[in-house]
Amino acid sequence: MKLTVNGTEREVDVDPAMPLLWVLRDELGVTGPKYGCGIAQCGACTVHIDGEAVRSCQVPIGDLWGAVTTIEGIGTPDAMHAVQEAWVEHQVAQCGYCQSGQMMQAAAMLVEIPAPTDEDIDDIMSGNLCRCGTYPRIRAAVHTAAAKLREA
C-alpha cells in the first residue's frame, strides 16, 4: 500500500485492517501521534487526513482517503506552525503526552474557524483529553495561534 505522510510518499506491506496509528508508529517510525485509549475518545492519536483532524487509532490503513499529516509535518524545516509557537509561548505542555493530538486538533480547527470563541475552542477541543488539566493554557494558546495565523 502507498500512502503520503508529511509530504513524502511511503509504501508499507501491512494488513489493510491495521490502524493508521500503528502503521505510522510501528512501520514508518513516525512517533508524534500517541496511543492513548484505542477507541477514539482521548485524541492523543489525532492526525490530519487531507486537512481533517481524525483519530488515527480508528482509521484502517485500507480505508485511507488522502494525504496524512502528523505533528512532525505541520511546520516547515525553518519554522514551527503558529499553533506550535503558541504552545511554547503559553507553556501548555506539562507531561506532554497528549499535546501532539491537541495541536493537530487546534490546527485543523483554525482552518475552519480562523477567529474561534472560547465556546468554539471548548466545543471542538473537548474530544482531546489532557490528564494534566492544561485546558486554560490550551484555550489561550489557540487564541494566540489564531491571531498569528490571521496576521500572516
> In three state form, how does the secondary structure of 35-51 look?
CCCCCCCCCCCEEEECC
Which pLDDT tens digit goes with each residue over 103-132? 999 999 999 999 999 999 999 999 999 999
pLDDT above 90: residue 2: yes
Intra-chain end-to-end CA distance of the chain, in Å: 37
For residue 152, name the pLDDT band (cuts at 50, 70, 90).
confident
Phi, psi of 5 (to 5 degrees): -125, 120
> What number is the average pLDDT over the span 129-145?
97
- Per DSSP bridges, beta strands 46-49 and 8-11 are unpaired
Question: Do 67 and 7 reside in the same domain of the chain?
Answer: yes
Average the pLDDT over 2-20 and give the result.
98
Q: What is the pLDDT of residue 67?
A: 98
pLDDT at position 36: 96
Residue type (1 letter), 76: T
Our count of domains for the chain comes to: 2
Neighbours of 16 (CB within 10 A): 10
User: How far is Cα of residue 20 from the mean position of the Cα atoms in its chain?
Assistant: 13
In the listed set 50, 73, 96, which residue is the last one of a domain according to the structure? 73
Structural domain range at position 136 = 82-151
Give the whole-number percent of the chain exceeding pLDDT 70.
Answer: 100
Measured CA to CA, the distance from residue 134 to residue 5 in angstroms comes to 29
User: What is the CATH number for 133?
Assistant: 1.10.150.120
3-state class of 15 per DSSP?
coil
pLDDT in tens, 46-76: 999 999 999 999 999 999 999 999 999 999 9
Confidence grade of residue 95 (pLDDT, cut at 50, 70, 90)? very high
* Residues 54 and 114 placed together within one structural domain of the fold: no
**How much helix, strand and coil, in percent to the nearest 5, is found in the chain?**
40, 15, 45
Q: Which of 123, 92, 121, 89 is nearest to 107 (CA)?
A: 121
